[in-house]
Structure 1
Amino acid sequence: MLFGDERLRRRNEFGGSIEVICGSMFSGKTEELIRRLRRAQIAKLQVEIFKPKTDTRYDETAVVSHDLNSIHSTPVDHSSAILLYGSNTQIVGIDEAQFFDDELPEVCVKLANKGVRVIIAGLDMDFTGKPFGPMPALMAIAEEVTKVHAVCMKCGGPALFSYRLVENKNQLMLGEKESYEPRCRACFNSI
């Protein structure tokens, strides 16, 4: 097992890495992303953070968790724009990955192959319980996948589904607690 400096040297020598943080709404995905990125900033690493331009729920530019912790980010229209920023970047953070286009996995591979540590957060499933956007492909190519769970609002068990409370069949719908609640498998399927 490699530790500390040796691990970092090997990462830079053999390429970066891809980490995915996934789960339902209100499970702490963005909170965990911010935590990892803040630690990188404390270590004085060069960090760039991105989110889809369409995500304006809390702030136009910042990545903001439901607990209102935030970190500055750059909103982008297309995942390819991520490649245009920061040639000295050591860590790239990406929030709300499910809202990005299908080229995001290729962008992340390019970054990792250049020695960049890529940390991605996003919903793994949409409101119907189906895989969401580029997330399945990102999980397949990641060195590390962290699945976080919320608390089911019906029974208190571990929740992995995002149940939509309002009538809207569009896959993409921004919303908060007025529109979604986390549910476990049993409560999600007992509709």
Structure 2
Amino acid sequence: MFIEPNLSGERRGWIEVICGSMFSGKTEELIRRLKRAKIANLKVEIFKPAIDIRYHEQNIVSHDENSIISTPIDNSQTILLLANDVDVIGIDEAQFFDDMLPEVCDQLALRGIRVIVAGLDMDYLAKPFGQMPNLLAKADYITKLHAICVKCGNIANYSYRKEAKGPQVLLGEKDVYEPRCRHCYYER
């Protein structure tokens, strides 16, 4: 599905990507930006992958328990169908979406919509995760957040899985993952 770009000059859209390791505050920052947009009386729509039901089936919830209502969806193209007459779109856990997400974000930005996307930039094996590298390449603005390493207290960029078995996608919290700096991650 291709949407005609808004080239009239009346409103310009862009893509913002918030990335980092687990426990770095990505969802917290996404919620903060979306709430500020709402305070500015902008029309906001928020989406998350339907598979992420860790905290709530519908809401996006940060580790600090801040939340904002969202629409769970199974594929990124659904956003194009639901994003009518909006100023800002928020997308959480972008790494779990399909390979059309970067194109969807591009189309939304061309419509004049501010698109704010949050997600893990690397998986537990320290490999680029899902469509995040493509989103980072298309982003107009990038914010990389860091957690604190649980081993040494330095800044952490890595999501260490305590048991390095199983599929790439394994939803979990501090029982399964912990933030680590580069040195402590590779020290294992």
Pair in the same fold by TM > 0.5: yes
Tell me how large the CA RMSD over aligned residues is: 1.4
Aligned-residue identity in percent = 62
TM-score, length of structure 1 as denominator length: 0.92
- After TM superposition, the structure 1 = structure 2 runs for residues 101-140 of structure 1, keeping only pairs within 5 Å, are 101-140=98-137
Gaps of 5+ in 1: 1-9
Secondary structure, in 3 states, of the residue corresponding to 1:182? strand
The alpha carbon displacement at 1:184 in A equals 0.2
The alpha carbon displacement at 1:38 in A equals 0.2
Whole-angstrom distance in 1 between the partners of 2:109 and 2:147: 29
The alpha carbon displacement at 1:15 in A equals 3.1
1:178 pairs with one of 175, 178, 181: 175
Deviating more after overlay: 106-115 vs 161-170: 161-170
- After TM superposition, the structure 1 = structure 2 runs for residues 142-153 of structure 1, keeping only pairs within 5 Å, are 142-153=139-150
Counterpart check, 1:159 vs 2:141: no
Gaps of 5+ in 2: 1-6
Spell out, residue by residue over 1:56-110, the C-alpha distance to the aligned partner (whole angstroms, 9 max, x if none).
Answer: 0000000000001000000000000001114111000000000000100000000
Residue 177 and residue 114 in structure 1: after superposition, are their counterparts in 2 closer, same or farther (change >3 A)? Answer: same
TM-score, length of structure 2 as denominator length: 0.94
Counterpart check, 1:55 vs 2:15: no
The alpha carbon displacement at 1:163 in A equals 0.0
Contact 1:11 1:17 in 2 (8 A): no
**Higher relative helix content:** 1
Aligned to 1:21: 18
- After TM superposition, the structure 1 = structure 2 runs for residues 42-81 of structure 1, keeping only pairs within 5 Å, are 42-81=39-78
Spell out, residue by residue over 1:130-156, the C-alpha distance to the aligned partner (whole angstroms, 9 max, x if none).
Answer: 000000000000000000000000000
How many residue pairs get matched? 182
